[in-house]
Each structure stands twice: as C-alpha cells, then as structure tokens.
Structure 1
Amino acid sequence: MHLFVHRFLVRAPLEEVANFHRDTRALRRLTPPPIWVQFHHLEPLAENSIAEFSLWFGPFPVRWRALHIHVHPLQGFTDIQVQGPLQSWRHTHSFQAVDEHTTQITEMIEYEHPAGWNGLLTRLLYSSIALRLLFFYRQWVTRFYLEWKRSVERH
C-alpha cells in the first residue's frame, strides 16, 4: 500500500473551501491539461453519492466509479474507487480552519497498484511524481478560485 499526502494553505474561510469542493464542477476544474474528464453519472456530494467518469489521457480513456463516504459539510470527505484502474484507491480530503480567513487542506491518498500489465500502466499514470504534479496543479487552481478570483469579484 502506498501513501501520498499533500497539505497547503488557502487564504479563504473554511466554509468557502468546503463549498468549492462540494461543487459538482470541482473535479473538472481540478483536472490538469492535457487530461480531460468526461462525466457519465455525477451525484451531488453526499454520503454514499456516486461519481462515474472517464479520465482521458490523450486518446485513451480510464474509467472510474467512485463512492463518497465520511462526508462532513465543513471537515471534508473521502472518495473510494469502486471500479477503476487501481487495485485500491482511498482519497481523503480534509479541511481545517487555521483562522477565520485561512484554511488548511490536506489530501491523503492510500492506493495500491494492480499486478501485471495494468500495474505497469498505473505506475506511470499514478506514480508519486505524477501525484505530486497533479496536486501542485490542484493547489494552484484552488488558490486561483478561492483567493484571486474571489478578490477580483469583490472589487
């Protein structure tokens, strides 16, 4: 079992951070180019809600079915791969107020690659380096929407 953890601060109140992640547009916003996300079925974030989607790596789709559990309005949620490319995937999104204007986001992923040829592919697409790049991108996008865009909209 592999463990990946990424923490960062956002200059935004806890409620705004939670609302950003609860928005059904969040996954599309947080998916970096050149990857494209196509939704097949997407339920609003709630306990036991389901998201079915394909991540397109160029011309190659990778289909996922994720189940959301431990959904808390302000503290975060966990998504578990029910069907998908990995042997297992458990991604916990945690939000914690640092003060009334700052929130710490912690992304923790426990994952396991399958055996065989599929495992070789997932070791490329979901390597620790790929995850690090993905979450730096997600950090940048989250800050863009919650810090910069919000400040522009207020003026």
Structure 2
Amino acid sequence: MPTFDYTFTVDAPLTAVSNFHHNTSVLKTLTPPPIIAQIHHFDPMANGAVAEFTLWFGPLPLRWRAVHSNVSVNGFTDTQQQGPLKHWRHTHRFTAVSPTTTQIHEQIEYEHDSGLRGILSRLLFAKPGLFLLFTARKWITRFHLRRERQTA
C-alpha cells in the first residue's frame, strides 16, 4: 500500500499544536484554495469521533466520512470510512523538540480504487498533489500558530 510522509517543525509548544489540530474547524482552516472544505458534521475530537465533510475541487464534490482514533496530545489518526479512495488512513503525530518547538509528522496510507473512480483519485491524490497540499498546510499551520502566540 502506498504511503505519503511529510514532516516539518513549528515554533510553538506541543500543547498549542495539539489544541490547534484538535479544533473541529481546523479542516476548513488547513484546506488551501482552490479546494473548499464544507463541514457537515464534526464531533469534538476524541476516539470514535466522526467527521463528515465535502471537499470541493472546483465544481467536483468529494464526500468523506472519517473516524478518529488514537487521539492524544501527541496526535491522532483519521480513517476514511466512506470517501473517494479505496483506503485512506492519515496519522498526525506531534513531538516536542523543545519547550517552544514541535515537530509535526503526517503519514498517509492510501489505496486507489480501480476504474473511473480510481482514475479520479489518482489525479487528485497522487504524491505530487499531496506534497503541494501539505506544503500549504505547513505554511497555514505556522501562520496561525504564530498569530496565536502574538495575540496571547
């Protein structure tokens, strides 16, 4: 099964990074244009929490239902229960590098369907696209955590 890994650091303590990622509106915050995230339902972050949302790629809606597990201050995993891929498991890990710096490691295990559905997911969720998405998320995360620190 293919995997995608992306690691970066932010100038923020572990608790700030964890709180940011556990916020139920974070998916909208971390979704860069031209993609739009429409949240239908998002349980408070906990083991078994369900998130239902649509990612809009222009006029194309991709509906997801993800279930969260392994939720802790050090991260969580969201697993696609329904969605555009045959399999998608996204693990977010947060590790304190120092009292004011945290490493974020994103790992995705994914598998495409066959047929037309698989062609679409290969176009939208190939490694180059995931790299661009997570590079944007890195910048967005750093921006928001820096802004939080400055207003605190």
Supply the distance in 1 between the matched residues of 2:105 and 2:148 (Cα, whole angstroms). Answer: 21
Q: Which structure 1 residue ranges, 5 or more long, are not aligned?
A: none
Q: For residues 108-155 of structure 1, what are the alpha-carbon distances to aligned partners after superposition, in whole Å with 9 as ceiling and x for unaligned?
A: 0000000111110000100100000000000000000112x134324x
Q: What is the aligned-residue RMSD (CA, Å)?
A: 0.8
> Structure 1 residue runs of 4+, over 4 Å off?
none
Looking at structure 2, the residues matched to 150 and 86 of structure 1 have their Cα atoms a distance apart, in angstroms, of 35
Distance 2:39 2:27 in 1: 10
Q: Give distance in 2, aligned partners of 1:30 and 1:77.
A: 16
**Hey, what's the Cα distance between the residues in 2 that align with 1:22 and 1:40?**
17
Percent pairwise identity: 54
Q: CA deviation at 1:25?
A: 1.3
How far apart are residue 39 of structure 1 and its match? 1.2
TM-score under structure 2 length normalisation: 0.98
Superposed CA offset, 1:14-72 (max 9, x none): 00000000011110000010111111111111000000000011111000000001111
Aligned residues: 152
Q: Which runs of 5+ in 2 are unaligned?
A: none
Cross-structure match for 2:89: 90
Which letter does structure 2 place at the counterpart of 1:152?
Q
Which AA in structure 1 matches 2:112? H
